[in-house]
Chains A and B, each alone.
Chain A
Amino acid sequence: MTWVKRVGWRHLVLILIVLFALFPIAFVVSAAINPLGTLSSSELYPTGASFENFHKLFTDSRYPFVHWFVNSTLIALVSAFASVFISMCAAYAFSRMKFRGRRGGLLALMLIQMFPQFLAMVTIFMIFTTVTDLWPAFGFNEVWGLLVLYLGGALGVNTWLMKGFLDTVPRELDESATIDGASHAQAFFRVILPLVAPILAVTALLAFIGTINEFIFASFFLTDPESKTLAVGLYGMIAGDRNVNFGMFAAGSLLTAVPTVAVFLWLQKYIVNGLTAGAVKG
Chain B
Amino acid sequence: MTTPSTSSVDSGGTQGAGSNGSPRPLPEQRRSRGRATTPAAPREITTGFLAGRVIALGLVAAIDLYAGPPLISGRHWAGVVILAAVSLVIAYVYLSKRHVPVKYLLPGTIFLIAFQVLPVLYTLTTAVTNFGDGHRGNKDEAIVAIQTSSLQQVANAPEYGLSPALDKSDHLVFLLVTTDAAGDRKVQVGTADGLKDLPGANVGLTGKVTEADGYTILNAGDAAGRAEEIGAFAVPTGQGAIKSSGLSRAVELKATKLYDAGCDCVTDVASGTKYTADESKGYFVGPNGDNLSQGWKVNVGLHNFARLVNDPAISGPFLGSFVWNIVFALSSVFFSFALGMICALALHSPRVRGTKLYRTLLILPYAMPSFAMLLVWRDMFNTDFGLINRVFGSHIDWLGQPMTARFALILVNMWLGFPYMFLVATGALQAIPRELTEASSIDGATAWQGFKRVTLPLLLVALSPLLISSFAYNFNNFNAVQFITKGGPFPPDNASSGATDLLITYTYRLAFGGSGAQFGFAAAISTIIFAIVATMSAIAFRRTRKLEEVYS
Residues of A participating in the B interface, judged by any CB pair closer than 8 Å: 6-7, 9-11, 13-14, 17-18, 20-22, 24-25, 27-28, 38-40, 42-44, 86-87, 89-90, 92-93, 97, 99, 102, 105, 111-112, 114-127, 133-135, 148-149, 151-156, 159, 177-186, 188, 190-191, 194, 209, 212-213, 215-216, 219-220, 230-231, 234-235, 238, 242-243, 246, 249-250, 252-253, 256-257, 260-261, 264-265, 268, 271-273, 275-276, 279-282
With a cutoff of 8 Å between Cβ atoms, the chain B residues found around residue A14 in the complex are: 343, 346-347, 352, 358, 362
Most chain B Cβ neighbours within 10 Å, of A14, A86, A154? A14
* Neighbour of A89 across the interface among B104, B379, B534, CB < 8 A: B104
Q: In chain B, what residue has the closest Cβ to A150?
A: B115
With a cutoff of 8 Å between Cβ atoms, the chain A residues found around residue B359 in the complex are: 268
Tell me if B478 counts as interface (CB < 8 A to partner A).
Answer: yes
* Neighbour of A153 across the interface among B116, B346, B391, B469, CB < 8 A: B116
Proximity string of chain B (340-383) to chain A, C-beta cutoff 8 Å, 1 when within and 0 when not = 00110011010110000011111111111111110111011010
With a cutoff of 8 Å between Cβ atoms, the chain B residues found around residue A25 in the complex are: 364-365, 368, 373
Tell me if B496 counts as interface (CB < 8 A to partner A).
Answer: no
Residues of B participating in the A interface, judged by any CB pair closer than 8 Å: 1, 29, 32-33, 35-36, 38-41, 43, 46, 48-49, 52, 66-67, 70-71, 74, 76, 79, 100-102, 104-105, 107-109, 111-112, 114-120, 122-123, 126, 339, 342-343, 346-347, 349, 351-352, 358-373, 375-377, 379-380, 382, 384-387, 391, 415, 418-420, 423-424, 426-428, 464-466, 469, 472, 476, 478-479, 482-483, 504, 507-508, 511-512, 519, 522-523, 526, 529-530, 533-534, 537, 541-542, 544-545, 548
Q: Is the CB of A282 within 8 A of B48?
A: no
**CB within 8 Å for A42 and B387 given contacts A249-B375, A282-B464:** yes
Q: In chain A, what residue has the closest Cβ to B521?
A: A122
With a cutoff of 8 Å between Cβ atoms, the chain A residues found around residue B376 in the complex are: 24, 27-28, 250, 253
With a cutoff of 8 Å between Cβ atoms, the chain A residues found around residue B542 in the complex are: 282
Interface of A is mostly: helix
Given contacts A271-B423, A280-B465, A282-B545, could you give 5 more A-B pairs where the C-beta distance is less than 8 Å? A13-B343, A24-B377, A43-B387, A180-B33, A260-B368
Q: In chain A, what residue has the closest Cβ to B343?
A: A17
Q: Is the CB of A119 within 8 A of B465?
A: no
Q: Is the CB of A44 within 8 A of B115?
A: no
CA distance A252 to B544 in the complex (A): 43
Q: Is the CB of A156 within 8 A of B368?
A: no
Question: Could you show 29 A-B contacts with beta carbons less than 8 Å apart?
Answer: A9-B346, A10-B346, A10-B347, A13-B342, A21-B361, A21-B415, A25-B368, A86-B108, A89-B105, A90-B109, A116-B476, A117-B119, A123-B122, A127-B122, A155-B109, A180-B38, A182-B32, A209-B367, A234-B371, A242-B382, A252-B372, A256-B372, A261-B367, A264-B363, A272-B423, A279-B465, A281-B465, A282-B542, A282-B544
With a cutoff of 8 Å between Cβ atoms, the chain A residues found around residue B343 in the complex are: 13-14, 17
With a cutoff of 8 Å between Cβ atoms, the chain A residues found around residue B346 in the complex are: 9-10, 13-14
Q: Is the CB of A235 within 8 A of B369?
A: no
Q: Is the CB of A90 within 8 A of B104?
A: yes
Q: Is the CB of B116 within 8 A of A183?
A: no
With a cutoff of 8 Å between Cβ atoms, the chain A residues found around residue B428 in the complex are: 276
With a cutoff of 8 Å between Cβ atoms, the chain B residues found around residue A257 in the complex are: 367-369, 372
CA distance A257 to B366 in the complex (A): 11
A47 to chain B, nearest CB (A): 13
With a cutoff of 8 Å between Cβ atoms, the chain A residues found around residue B76 in the complex are: 134
Q: Is the CB of B368 within 8 A of A135?
A: no
Q: Is the CB of A260 within 8 A of B43?
A: no
**CB within 8 Å for A265 and B367 given contacts A18-B362, A246-B379, A256-B372:** yes
A18 to chain B, nearest CB (A): 5
* Neighbour of A122 across the interface among B382, B387, B526, CB < 8 A: B526
CA distance A280 to B369 in the complex (A): 26
Q: Is the CB of A122 within 8 A of B523?
A: yes
B391 to chain A, nearest CB (A): 7
Q: Is the CB of A114 within 8 A of B347?
A: no
Most chain A Cβ neighbours within 10 Å, of B38, B126, B368, B386? B368
**CB within 8 Å for A183 and B111 given contacts A213-B370, A220-B512, A261-B367:** no
Q: In chain A, what residue has the closest Cβ to B423?
A: A272
Most chain B Cβ neighbours within 10 Å, of A122, A125, A234, A275? A122
With a cutoff of 8 Å between Cβ atoms, the chain B residues found around residue A260 in the complex are: 367-369
Q: In chain B, what residue has the closest Cβ to A179?
A: B40
Q: Is the CB of A276 within 8 A of B424?
A: yes
CA distance A252 to B373 in the complex (A): 11
**CB within 8 Å for A39 and B465 given contacts A117-B119, A181-B38, A264-B367:** no
**CB within 8 Å for A156 and B370 given contacts A122-B523, A215-B482, A268-B360:** no
CA distance A122 to B464 in the complex (A): 32
B245 to chain A, nearest CB (A): 29
CA distance A42 to B126 in the complex (A): 48
Q: Is the CB of B385 within 8 A of A183?
A: no
With a cutoff of 8 Å between Cβ atoms, the chain B residues found around residue A256 in the complex are: 369, 372
Q: In chain B, what residue has the closest Cβ to A116?
A: B476
CA distance A276 to B346 in the complex (A): 21
CA distance A127 to B79 in the complex (A): 13
**CB within 8 Å for A120 and B526 given contacts A6-B351, A14-B347, A256-B369:** yes
With a cutoff of 8 Å between Cβ atoms, the chain B residues found around residue A250 in the complex are: 376
* Neighbour of A186 across the interface among B36, B48, B511, B534, CB < 8 A: B48
With a cutoff of 8 Å between Cβ atoms, the chain B residues found around residue A219 in the complex are: 512
Q: In chain B, what residue has the closest Cβ to A20?
A: B415
A218 to chain B, nearest CB (A): 10
Q: In chain A, what residue has the closest Cβ to B547?
A: A282
The 4 closest A-B pairs by CB, nearest first: A152-B115, A253-B372, A120-B119, A155-B108
A168 to chain B, nearest CB (A): 14
